[in-house]
Amino acid sequence: MYFLTKALALIIGSILLSLGINLFLVPHEILDGGTVGIGLIANYLWGFNTGLIVIILSVPIFIFAWFHYRNYFYNSLHGMMLSAFFIDFLSPVSNLIEIEAIYSSILGGILVGIGIGLMLHFQTSTGGSDFIAQFLCEKTGINVGIYILLIDSIVIILGGLLLSSETFYLSIITLLFIGITTSLVTSRKGHAVAYE
C-alpha cells in the first residue's frame, strides 16, 4: 500500500512541478534552480527540450551516485525521469494562461514547491543539484541549504546574464516561493528540505 501511495505521490508531484514550469515560468522566461534551471536556459536560448537537458545533465550525477550513494540513486532516479518526462510532455500548455509576470513567478513557485514537497514527503526527489549539495555538505559540514542556495544562485545569475534582468528578478521571487512552499509541505513530518 505504501509503495502505491509513493508511486502516486511521485506522479502527482511530477505533474504539479511540470505544470508550474510550463503554465507559469516558461511564458515569461522565468527560471527554476539546479538542473531544471539550466534546462530552461537551454530551452529559452536554443529551443532544446527542458526535460531532455535535465536527463543529460543528470547522467554523470547518477553514475556517481550509483557507485557512492546507491540509496540516493534508487530514491531519486524515478523522480528525475518522471519530472523530466512531464516537463516535456506538458510543454504545449505554456500558451493556456496569460497573467502578469510577477503573478506567474509566484504561482509557478507555489506549484513547483508543492510538487517537490510532495515527492520529498515520500523520501524521493527530482535528483540533480540537490545530490551535489548533499555530497558537498557531507564533505565540508556546511549546511545543505547553503549549497542549494549557492547552486541555484549561480543558475539564475547565469540566466540573468544570458537572458534578461527581468528573468533574474522574477526567478528570485520564484525560488523564494518554491523554498517556502516546499518547507510548508514537508514540515508536517519534519523532513529536511532539499529541492532541485
What CA–CA distance (Å, rounded) separates 163 from 172? 14
pLDDT attached to residue 188: 65
Distances (CA, A) of 3 to 7, 81, 83, 125: 6, 18, 18, 15
Task: Say how many CA atoms lie within 13 Å of 12 toward its Cβ.
Answer: 13
> Residue 21: its pLDDT value, please?
98
pLDDT per position as a tens digit, 35-55: 999 999 999 999 999 999 999
**Parts of the chain with a pLDDT under 50:** 190-196
**pLDDT tens profile 44-86:** 999 999 999 999 999 999 998 899 888 888 888 989 999 999 9
Query: Rounded to two decimals, what is the model's pTM?
Result: 0.91
Within its chain, how far is the Cα of 4 from the centroid?
A: 23
In whole angstroms, give the CA distance from residue 87 to residue 49.
9
